[in-house]
């Protein structure tokens, strides 16, 4: 049965509703729509920039397009440093399954333990973490093949150094951000870096690019940098230095080779060294560019400067006799000694025999100011003009504070300090007819002009003395080089320890030039703390000089200037400190 219901009879419909209630509801709805319209207007018109900015913060990213760092080349165009593509591994930790069976394989490929990998995947930031930067391309491909969720790769550039340990202190290295940290990489970082580009994109939460939002600014690659270094000379010098340090169980050593025509640095080697391609657990001993950063008392290598100044002042001639007997000289309560008594020696022989007494007698005829000015003009006490990190200026005290005994000891290399590089540059005075030439780490084919320190005639006279010192009867017969005439001076200096000098710690060095009549190169060698019983510069450093000179001149195409004769050196080397 159908039941009829009369809705019009409902008492609710019969009740009277206040008019204000309906008006209130309508007004409320109107205000609500007005508020929504106002909010929409604010978001889309008045506050649009703010909300656009907030949207970009969450989804838009500016990707840096790294510039390819310029290569470092030797003087012949051989690569000393270059950039290669390397993938860097990153992850979104919250997306990575910590129990993924592929994680042990990933850890092995990344050369880390599984606990270490899991620790890296559990940082406070759950959206991004670097797992490992700059892995080799084959490893990156194996990692990609694992297909681990939440692990991704980013393309970067990695520096490679083909010459390894031999050129490490010259070239230096960069960090994972491709910024120079040592050597040429640091000194010329801005030039090599180029200019990075950029790309503005929208990314999703997985880091995938969804859309480009503006034009790409392309990167500008860094230009190549060509050094004056000859990689063949560099490698050979390093090899011979390394062998000498190991043979004499020394602490360290350095070699510097300069081209005296152009002022170019052909080689600058140190040992111990390091492999810039693998820099784990490096020590300061390995990183120090000792040829530039270490200063020491140069010992007898300063005697030729005293002889040159005495000639310049007209105090002596090369054949002027000087009485050195009995091999001792008292000054201000101190005694200066030779290794033995030589009696009367000419100025030539004073340098040949390395007589302390003869050198002091020449020096004490000069004023301290004259000696100081001569040393300063030769570059001592001044930082080498090289754009290279860590180069030291050495120490040359003002002449006004010199006491007589200090003037005496400074004449044979005690009481002042210099780096091996400063010594090498200073000896260009004798190789370039009295000129101190500027030096360069960059390739140049121009002949340089230097500052005149001594007259050409007196520089030539000292060069002949250096030839005698490196020949029979001198202190460095082992500096002789097959096919080429050489000249140079030994040095053997006690090492400072506390306020005095150590009894059994020495630095052995030799600085010389070749060929004598028309010098092309200056080579300086230093060996620190030889400990096998031999410590004289003529026995420890001179052989390294000999082999480096011979190889360098051959590489440069310099014709031999003396006939090659088999020689056996049986002479006992004596040297004054």
Residues with a catalytic annotation lie at 300
Helix (H, G, I), strand (E, B) or coil at 110: coil
> 105: left (phi > 0), else alpha (psi -120 to 50), else beta?
alpha
Question: Under a CB-based contact definition with an 8 Å cutoff, are residues 469 and 354 in contact?
Answer: yes
Residue written as tokens 């892995």?
A: 135
Residue written as tokens 């391309």?
A: 137
User: Strand pairing partners for 160?
Assistant: 82
Whose CA is closest to 239, among 144, 166, 330, 171? 166
Our separate counts of H helices and E strands in the chain read 22, 21
Q: DSSP for 356-382?
A: HHHHHHHHTTS-HHHHHHHHHHTTTTS
User: Quick check: bond before 194 cis, omega within 30?
Assistant: no
Q: DSSP for 33-92?
A: HHHHHHHHHIIIIITHHHHHHHHHHHHEEEEEEPPPPPPEE-TTS-EEEEEEEEEEEEE-
Whose CA is closest to 184, among 31, 81, 52, 324? 81
CB-neighbour burial class of residue 233 (10 A; exposed 0-12, middle 13-18, buried 19+): buried
N- to C-terminal Cα separation, the chain: 136
Question: Under a CB-based contact definition with an 8 Å cutoff, are residues 176 and 93 in contact?
Answer: no
CA 432 – CA 334 distance, rounded (Å): 37
CA 132 – CA 87 distance, rounded (Å): 9
CA 173 – CA 281 distance, rounded (Å): 15
User: Quick check: bond before 515 cis, omega within 30?
Assistant: yes
CA 458 – CA 449 distance, rounded (Å): 18
CA 353 – CA 345 distance, rounded (Å): 9
Q: DSSP for 461-507?
A: HHHHHHHHHTSTTSS-GGG-BTTB--EEEEEEEEEEETTEEEEEEEE
**Tokens linked to 219:** 């990167």
**Tokens linked to 383:** 């930082």
CA 56 – CA 44 distance, rounded (Å): 15
**Tokens linked to 336:** 């200066």
């Amino acid at each position: 049965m159908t039941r009829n219901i009369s809705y019009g009879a409902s008492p609710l419909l019969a009740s009277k509703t206040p008019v204000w209630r309906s008006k209130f509801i309508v007004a409320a709805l109107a205000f609500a729509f007005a508020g929504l319209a106002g909010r929409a207007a604010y978001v889309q018109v008045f506050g649009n920039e703010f909300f656009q900015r907030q949207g970009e913060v969450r989804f838009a990213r500016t990707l840096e397009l790294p510039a390819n760092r310029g290569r470092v080349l030797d003087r012949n165009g051989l690569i000393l440093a270059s950039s290669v593509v390397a993938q860097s591994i990153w992850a979104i930790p919250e997306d990575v399954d910590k129990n993924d069976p592929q994680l042990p394989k990933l850890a092995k490929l990344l050369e880390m333990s599984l606990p270490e990998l899991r620790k890296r995947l559990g940082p406070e930031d759950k959206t991004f973490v670097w797992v490992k930067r700059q892995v080799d391309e084959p490893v990156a491909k194996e990692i990609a093949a694992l297909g681990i969720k939440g692990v991704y790769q980013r393309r970067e550039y990695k520096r490679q150094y083909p010459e390894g340990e031999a050129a490490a202190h010259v070239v230096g290295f960069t960090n994972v951000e491709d910024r120079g940290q040592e050597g040429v990489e640091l000194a010329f970082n801005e030039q090599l870096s180029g200019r990075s580009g950029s790309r503005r994109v929208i990314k999703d939460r997985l880091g995938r690019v969804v859309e480009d939002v503006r034009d790409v600014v392309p990167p500008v690659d860094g230009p190549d940098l060509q050094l004056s270094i000859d990689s063949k000379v560099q490698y050979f010098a390093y090899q011979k230095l390394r062998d000498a340090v190991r043979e004499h169980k020394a602490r360290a050593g350095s070699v510097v080779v300069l081209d005296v025509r152009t002022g170019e640095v052909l080689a600058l080697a140190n040992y111990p060294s390091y492999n810039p391609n693998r820099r784990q657990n490096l020590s300061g001993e390995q990183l120090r560019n000792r040829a530039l950063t270490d200063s020491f008392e140069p010992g007898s290598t300063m005697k030729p400067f005293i002889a040159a100044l005495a000639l310049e002042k007209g105090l002596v001639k090369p054949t002027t006799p000087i009485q050195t007997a009995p091999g001792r000289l008292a000054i201000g309560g101190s005694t200066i000694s030779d290794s033995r008594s030589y009696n009367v020696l000419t100025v030539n022989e004073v340098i040949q025999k390395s007589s302390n007494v003869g050198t002091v007698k020449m020096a004490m005829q000069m004023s301290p100011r004259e000696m100081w000015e001569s040393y300063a003009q030769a570059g001592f006490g001044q930082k080498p003009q090289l754009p290279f990190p860590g180069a030291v200026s050495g120490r040359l005290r003002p002449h006004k504070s010199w006491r007589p005994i200090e003037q005496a000891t400074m004449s044979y290399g005690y009481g002042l300090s210099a780096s091996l590089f400063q010594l090498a540059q200073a000896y260009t005075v004798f190789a370039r007819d009295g000129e101190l030439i500027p030096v360069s780490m960059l390739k140049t084919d121009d002949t340089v002009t230097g500052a005149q320190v001594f007259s050409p005639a007196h520089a030539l006279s000292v060069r002949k003395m250096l030839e005698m010192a490196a020949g029979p009867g001198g202190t460095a017969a082992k500096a002789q080089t097959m096919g080429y005439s050489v000249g140079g001076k030994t040095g053997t200096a006690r090492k400072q320890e506390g306020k005095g000098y150590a009894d059994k710690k020495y630095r052995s060095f030799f600085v010389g030039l070749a060929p004598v009549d028309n010098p092309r190169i200056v080579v300086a060698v230093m060996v620190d703390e030889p400990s096998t019983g031999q410590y004289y510069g003529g026995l420890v450093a001179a052989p390294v000089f000999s082999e480096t000179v011979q190889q360098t001149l051959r590489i440069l195409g310099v014709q031999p200037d003396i006939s090659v004769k088999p020689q056996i050196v049986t002479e006992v080397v004596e040297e004054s400190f």
